[in-house]
Amino acid sequence: MSLDYPSIKRNKSEFKSLKKTIIRLDFSKRSPNAFIKMAEAIITWYYGDDNFKTFKGYRLSAIDASILEITNSERLRDAFGYSEGKTVKLARAKASDIYDIENDMMITSKITRYTTGERDIAIELIEKLKKLVLKNDLILFDRRYALAKIWKGRFSLFKFF
């Protein structure tokens, strides 16, 4: 499937239809890198101007991580890690994302090893956000992302409240 970006109007209702089409694609037969590049192109296009919802002038986003239960194969246990019970090793992965709350849009995300710390993934995602489309962002974190001194040293353009 190829997308003709110039022919897509900046109409948000048409964009919702595009999202539904992308979701219907068969992911198993396509390169993950193709979907990453397509998602980055769509995000860059969507936020290319200031024609999106904000909260008091800020793009209101949230960041969080989750543990995923993935297919329990040796290959995936080696790649992503596992949790261990008394009799079985279960393949697990960790997923994290930055989600635009007002526009119902996943801005960036990452799936990585089960043992990777949430703060480390968050740092990677924010660095990616800075390269992709930084737009006066207000990012909400839950309490597991505490230790503001770690964040202050890394991101001089972020304000802490």
pLDDT tens across 79-126, in order? 999 999 899 999 999 999 999 999 999 999 999 999 999 888 988 998
Inside any domain, residue 146? yes
Q: Which residues pair with 95 in a beta bridge?
A: 66, 111
- By residue range, what is the domain housing residue 108? 5-154
d(CA 63, CA 13): 25
pLDDT at 110: 94
Number of domains the chain is built from: 1
Numbers of helices and strands, H then E, in the chain: 5, 5
pLDDT tens digits along 120-161: 898 899 889 888 877 888 888 887 666 555 566 565 545 544
pLDDT digits 0-9 by tens, 37-55: 888 888 888 888 888 999 9
Question: Is 83 among the domain residues?
Answer: yes
Q: Are strands 89-100 and 59-69 parallel, antiparallel or unpaired?
A: antiparallel
Residue 28 covered by a domain: yes
- Asked whether the CA dihedral 76, 129, 159, 61 is positive or negative, the reply is negative
87 occurs within a structural domain: yes
**Global pTM value:** 0.73
The answer to whether position 9 is within a domain reads yes
HSE-up of 8 (CA within 13 Å, CB side)?
Answer: 17
C-alpha neighbours within 13 Å on the C-beta side of residue 148: 6
Any domain includes 160: no
d(CA 20, CA 23): 5
161 part of a folded domain? no
Facing residues of 93 across strands?
Answer: 68, 113
